[in-house]
Structure 1
């Protein structure tokens, strides 16, 4: 049997062999192993570990053919210890019985009876390991150095021989020794001792010559008793073997039952493995396509950023050109006015009297003072209020991908469409989604139209700013536009298209930096169809802005009625406005900018 499991590597210097031929060896182990497997169950042969001495002769490695983790017997729990100890005692008894009857049942191996008995000697429980519930002995046929050796065979001269009633025959040499040791002072017991010795010899003779049996020619009951005891011992050994065989058979039956159950589960498991392998193969085919898609999306995002940068630079260049052209036209008008003034001055020098009358007649009439609106208890109209008290307007426009969906679609419809496209692997180059083909304008188109119409109707002393939400993590601050720049503002709004993300909290913070909100009112209009998708906290951004600028109000145009930004309006005293239908954007946006529009009583 090939030993594959190493139990331990132990120092042999503290042990001495009890075997007649010396220490346990691999050759002796092989012979005992074959003998035990020939007459007892194979598992019984695993009781003796196979020794493998190291090259230095001091260390011995012990191996076993069992499978499992070796655990010292002394380290087991009480229940496991008792169970393993019972198996160990049973194996030792069966091996001792085999050694006793070996000369009768296997004469060819009778020379192994003595080594087998001596192999049952081991130093103690610390030399017993348990592997899978089976005990294994290392240093078998050994005892600790300095321990009392087991008794050898008893000498026939010195041994007491039993008789029928359990007494023993005392040898004559013992009587003589006792008489000599008594000395002359105790001669009186010598007669008694001699008498007892004679009686003992007489009893020994009766037993030896079978004279106590009566009648002498009757049955030999002692021989029959010895035969019965031998048969009893044989039957006990056989019973122990049968019990071990039954336990092994039960264990084999349990293993066969587990094997049958495992085979029953084998086919479903094989089908699952085949399905997983097929799925893995499909995923491997999709991996290159997904990588190409990821690269295309990254390239598209880079192109979008580049395009936005170019558009921003172009817008700044156009605005600079317009300013320069306006300055040139203004300079030309100033020069024309100066020339006209010089001409008129020359004419006045020629006709001083007429020119004086003309100058008097040319003076504009004094305007009658108009009653201010404040005197009437009404808010001041544009022109009546100082420029620094005119309100500021900042528009925060959501230009995320969902704004590209038709204005008639609800958020529930949008989420369903996004989920469907993700499952099908359909992605757009910019917004990440393919817009469904439905009739009617998109949300962003309706919002842009409403913003431009409202911006055109703002009073001439109100500036308007624009912040666009189109990608994470930052919003795009397109700046503040004066009344003379409202055309540029509407062109910026018209150029917007749906992009990827909604950095709502960041957009609110940038819009708050535009407006005054401390001396003059600041109105921020948020136009969105959802919540922050970039990890920001719009409510916290609104609270911080209101704490820094008490006159700031945020009105939210909630396009789909999701209430995602309700707290933004609540913490600043603003309004939540929802379009009545898909085409009511302008009306809702105009209502959100009421505070910055011309009051109704103003001309």
Structure 2
């Protein structure tokens, strides 16, 4: 746990409210929402001098909202808006149930308000809010006039920065005046300290490549023995086009559906990239995420195609939520497809786009040597977690020659072109709601036998 900052409690009643209700808030978020919601609000702790210290379970350097770049601020505000929208919906759902604590509903209502910029911090590219309950009149004023959110923090912040600047200048002047009084041995120590970080930098570059290659090379020991047989075996197309009664269960192709569950998948499919920039500048988040969203259409189309797959084919599910959060399921048998569709319904967009890691996990779920395998990747953008999906796709194809990756490219981003070409797959673009069903049908069509009702 890291300390973000400390603030002076101007109102004792408000301070006590924060300290008394944080545990209830944290428990509600953990119980009803994904894990990333539990880190959205910083934990307040009262220090011995009466100030409030704010802590977070995230690891990284806390950065105030005002010190972020314009692009980083837009991304952070968009993520906060999405999560606050989910909190507001949670409050509505709980209010319809009997036996829900009214104090919890009041608390959820308070934290659903968009915070002032001075209360927003970034830790490891994730938003952290220094939450504090606002009076009814204050929340109404801020909700009714968005300009106040941006203008008021500026007026409060300037005097505070001025005092800090004067203090820094005074310290620098004092150090300069006393420089002759300091022992020279200390200066030698200060000069040598920067050397260790320079020596440490080369090892930091190597681990970036290893996480991708190690999991993918696991099947390598078996590849030299089986690879020649994969070429001699009858063409994969023959097996793919056979009905279940015409092939062994072990010959049925394996399917993995990979969902890009990054934050951008919550954007409406009707919003173009140009419109997105325009709306972000004006913080029109509700219009950006109006239905039908990209993730909604992707889930509906995927569930329809699952119903059309032959009765001897297993289907696995991979959801790429963020750089360090990619979930992969065990294969669902044909009788477990209702559970598979329920798992798809639970996918909620959040974070960045780890395509390389998602492909790596999907490839580990299939044989691809003695058995055909198809990975259906549904995504709307490029890799944003530092991975190399093209290299992963190339390694998968080398180790699993009967594996193919077809890409459903939302909004024609072109991000999946290399992935498909490296594995002998195809790219299918979907730029509107009407194209989704047709495109996903085309992407899996080669694995659905014609005139087969089994």
Could you tell me the TM-score, scaled by structure 2's length?
0.47
Which one has the largest radius of gyration?
1
- Of structures 1 and 2, the one with the larger relative CO (CA 8 A, separation 6+) is 2
Could you tell me the TM-score, scaled by structure 1's length?
0.36
